[in-house]
């Protein structure tokens, strides 16, 4: 078992604590003790001093909660607070729950010395039912230039929210959230309109109720030039209004959250960006040069499509500067590791698909538009490799994961009856298999993998399955239960033998 996998499993086991493990930074700034809590009511703000021990990129870890707020309830979706550092707008925090959630934010590069954090309740973008927000356990961390993780933070993007119109499903589900009061952020004024209605029409505050940014992380890779590194930044959103359908997302990605790479840049041995190397993931998932503005070394991006791809020169009014300190190697670990390490994200995910009408427990078994309650699924990560002719758009083989329950001959499959929903990627891949309501881990008798051929010719490629990386169900609270399975599961799937059992629960006395 890899060290990264062990860390994920430990995080899932500790889901109830809702704490987040992040990379070590060079210093904790404790010269000025942060307050035990900051509470801001609608129409109010609160300022507190803090001191940085060195010049560098500053991260703020904070636990948030908002009484009366619940992401799945129209009119109560979130409370939004805006953070200002020395009177400069830094980031919004969308608070989706009344229970505590640990978040990590980026405050940008700050000089050593005294600073002021102002927390303002954002009346114009908070749900009507939100009356206050509570921030506790504030911890400031400065990452100095000599720290190994500094460059990854120094080039991290700032992302402005989406203003384009959302899809009909999401628009219908967002009615009922109203706002009022006075503006809490610089350059804004109270709109007196419904935040959700504005979101549906393409308003500036839709990320307060829809497809909100939850997490960010980065990956690093060497380039052809000695001493250079390629930095790629990714973000996790609570949902994806455009692109794949909800059942497809569960089958092919094991989630309904959206994870996209958003910005990439090559840096030289001194940590400077190589001119002309900056790229963004643009509309239609194209890779295009970044031509926008910077705040110091931080590119400023805008979310410009319903499936959360990027454009330069944003015109939105919500701003998100999430910590990208966490590092992930996408060739070695599934990106869903970020969700597992932050178990509250599964609760947010489930709440949003419920609110948007994408959950129907009475749907047909092979519905292409609706899923059942996310607590009815087992969430797996499988590691596999395609051996032989490589997959192409026209000719490919993939894997569908099947689950059998004790006392039943039925097999529940991740791809259901649709070959196109099979797993094709040869990196650790997440999927989710729908099971009958009330299923518990002990009911699962076996897990198998089946080779699936696409619409083209079968060129005979084999699929080498290596392991199941984790398997869990969601508990009654909508968060992951402890993974019940990590096992090497070596099996070769061929045209002659397309199915192999990866796990079989022991029966009889132990």
Segments making up each domain of the chain, as ranges: 3-345, 373-504
Return d(Cα 218, Cα 272) in angstroms, integer: 17
Q: Which CATH superfamily is domain 3-345 in?
A: Galactose-binding domain-like (2.60.120.260)
Q: Tell me how far apart the terminal alpha carbons of the chain are, to the nearest angstrom.
A: 24
Nearest to 103 by CA among 60, 74, 144: 60
| Tens digit of each residue's pLDDT, the chain (510 residues) | 444 444 444 443 443 333 333 333 455 565 457 788 999 999 999 999 999 999 999 999 999 999 999 999 999 999 999 999 999 999 999 999 999 999 999 999 999 999 999 999 999 999 999 999 999 999 999 999 999 999 999 999 999 999 876 554 444 444 433 333 323 333 333 333 344 444 554 688 999 999 999 999 999 999 999 999 999 999 999 999 988 999 999 999 999 999 999 999 999 999 999 999 999 999 999 999 999 999 999 999 999 999 999 999 888 899 999 999 999 999 999 999 999 999 999 999 999 999 999 999 999 999 999 999 999 999 999 999 999 999 998 899 999 999 999 999 999 999 999 999 999 999 999 999 999 999 999 999 999 999 999 988 899 999 999 999 999 999 999 999 999 998 888 999 999 999 999 999 987 654
Domains 3-345 and 373-504 share a fold: no
Return d(Cα 354, Cα 358) in angstroms, integer: 6
Nearest to 296 by CA among 271, 316, 314, 261: 271
**CATH entry, 373-504, from 3.40.50.170, 3.40.50.300, 2.40.50.660, 2.60.60.20:** 2.60.60.20
Return d(Cα 407, Cα 447) in angstroms, integer: 14
CA 127 to mean position of chain CA atoms: 22
Backbone phi and psi for residue 85, each to the nearest 5 degrees, phi listed first: -110, 115
């Amino acid at each position: 078992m890899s060290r990264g996998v062990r860390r994920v499993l430990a995080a899932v086991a500790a889901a109830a604590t809702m704490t987040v493990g992040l990379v070590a930074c060079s210093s904790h700034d404790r010269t000025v003790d942060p307050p035990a809590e900051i509470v801001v009511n609608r129409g109010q703000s609160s300022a507190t001093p803090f001191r940085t021990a060195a010049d560098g990129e500053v991260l703020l870890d904070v636990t948030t909660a908002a009484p009366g707020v619940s992401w799945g309830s129209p009119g109560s979706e979130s409370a939004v607070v805006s953070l200002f550092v020395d009177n400069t707008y830094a980031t919004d925090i969308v608070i989706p729950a009344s229970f505590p959630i640990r978040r990590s934010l980026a405050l940008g590069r700050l000089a050593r010395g005294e600073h002021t954090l102002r927390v303002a309740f954002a009346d114009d973008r908070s749900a009507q039912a939100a009356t206050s927000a509570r921030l506790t356990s504030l911890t400031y961390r400065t990452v100095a230039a000599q720290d190994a993780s500094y460059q990854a933070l120094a080039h991290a993007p700032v992302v402005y929210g989406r203003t384009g119109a959302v899809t009909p499903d999401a628009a219908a589900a967002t009615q009922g959230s109203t706002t009022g009061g006075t503006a809490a952020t610089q350059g804004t004024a109270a709109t007196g309109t419904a935040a959700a209605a504005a979101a549906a029409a393409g308003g500036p505050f839709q990320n307060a109720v829809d497809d909100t940014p939850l997490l960010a992380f980065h990956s690093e890779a060497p380039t052809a030039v000695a001493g250079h590194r390629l930095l790629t930044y990714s973000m996790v959103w609570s949902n994806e209004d455009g692109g794949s359908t909800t059942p497809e997302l569960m089958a092919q990605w094991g989630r309904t959250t959206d994870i996209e790479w958003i910005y990439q840049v090559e840096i030289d041995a001194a940590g400077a960006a190589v001119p002309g190397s900056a790229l963004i993931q643009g509309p239609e998932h194209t890779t295009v040069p970044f031509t926008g503005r910077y705040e110091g070394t931080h590119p400023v991006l805008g979310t410009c499509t319903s499936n959360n791809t990027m454009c330069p020169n944003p015109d939105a009014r919500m701003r998100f500067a999430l910590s990208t300190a966490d590092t992930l190697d996408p060739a070695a670990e599934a990106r869903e590791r970020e969700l597992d390490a932050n178990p509250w994200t599964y609760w947010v995910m489930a709440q949003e698909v419920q609110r948007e009408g994408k959950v129907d427990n009475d749907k047909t078994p092979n519905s292409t538009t609706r899923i059942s309650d996310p607590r009815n699924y087992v969430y797996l990560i499988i590691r596999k490799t395609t051996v032989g002719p490589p997959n192409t758009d026209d000719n490919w083989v993939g894997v569908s994961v099947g689950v059998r329950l004790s006392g039943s001959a039925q097999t529940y499959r991740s791809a259901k009856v649709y070959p196109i929903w099979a797993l094709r990627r040869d990196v650790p891949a997440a999927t989710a298999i729908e099971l009958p309501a009330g299923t518990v881990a002990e009911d699962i008798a076996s897990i198998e993998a089946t080779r699936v051929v696409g619409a083209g010719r079968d060129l005979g490629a084999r699929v080498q399955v290596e392991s199941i990386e984790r398997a869990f169900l969601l508990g009654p609270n909508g968060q992951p239960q402890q993974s019940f399975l990590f096992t090497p599961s070596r099996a070769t799937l061929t045209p002659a033998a397309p199915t192999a059992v990866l796990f079989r629960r022991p029966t009889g006395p132990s």
